[in-house]
Amino acid sequence: SRIRSSEAERPRSTMMNADMDAVEAENQVELEEKTRLINQVLELQHTLEDLSARVDAVKEENLKLKSENQVLGQYIENLMSASSVFQTTDTKSKRK
């Protein structure tokens, strides 16, 4: 009877080992997938940080350009008002 019980236990323990191996393999796949997703999230975070920094730089450059355009616009307006070529002429007074 001793031999029979150990023979009966062998297939059961082999099945348990196979089940455990399957569970370990599944856990390994899940772990690899989680690792891949974490790496992807980190990469996307870095990309977002880079894009955010680029947007800030572009905003700053845009503000500088707006300011320069205002200065240039005022300068051109002053030049035009000081030049006789751009002065409005009164055609009635010239005919007299």
Q: What is the pLDDT of residue 34?
A: 97
- Asked if the model's pLDDT at residue 22 lies above 90, the reply is no
pLDDT band at 10 (very low <50, low <70, confident <90, very high): low
pLDDT band at 1 (very low <50, low <70, confident <90, very high): very low
Rounded Cα gap, residues 47 and 40, in angstroms: 10
pLDDT band at 92 (very low <50, low <70, confident <90, very high): low
Average the pLDDT over 40-54 and give the result: 98
* Average pLDDT along the chain: 84
Q: Which residues contact 86 (CB under 8 A, 6 or more apart)?
A: 80
Q: What is the pLDDT of residue 89?
A: 59
- Asked if the model's pLDDT at residue 56 lies above 80, the reply is yes
